[in-house]
Amino acid sequence: MQVRIRRIDASLPLPRYESHGAVGFDLITRVTTTIEPGAIALIPGNVIVAVPEGYALLIVPRSSLPRKKGLICPHSVGVIDCDYHGHDDEILVQVQNVTDAAVTVERGERVAQGLFVKVERAQWEEVDNHGKESRGGFGSTG
């Protein structure tokens, strides 16, 4: 898949897949950012990506982020739509510091990864009933 991408700081490398089997590419942080205890911050990912029509770009934390940095992504996953690639639409990674000390993410670090997923838009068909019995509420299967 060919994807148009623009780096904000061309001295940093393009995102890359770190292994042959990797499904996500790592985003490189553009600036050093310090996050105070309990605070939420946006870390610049250095790229604007023109997501192809029919796809979404999911931004998810690297699995080592909580263990190595004490940071989590409070919204779990970011969704980049195919029309989010204007001049100022740099991908930002939202993180929260869950430690008791300030955490610094250095310029050039990898804190998140992106995954392209195929999506379709729904066309709603409104009905009065789906013809099925309720199977129970939230958490009903265990």
Mean pLDDT for the stretch of residues 30-40: 98
Quickly state the pLDDT bin for 131 (edges 50, 70, 90): confident
The answer to whether residues 53 and 82 touch, using CB atoms and an 8 Å cutoff, is yes
- Count CB neighbours of 109 within 10 A: 17
4-118 folds as Deoxyuridine 5'-Triphosphate Nucleotidohydrolase; Chain A (2.70.40)
Boundaries of every domain in the chain: 4-118
The pLDDT score that the predictor gives to residue 1 is: 93
Question: Tokens 């919204």 label which residue?
Answer: 75
Per residue in 2-11, pLDDT (tens digit) is: 999 999 999 9
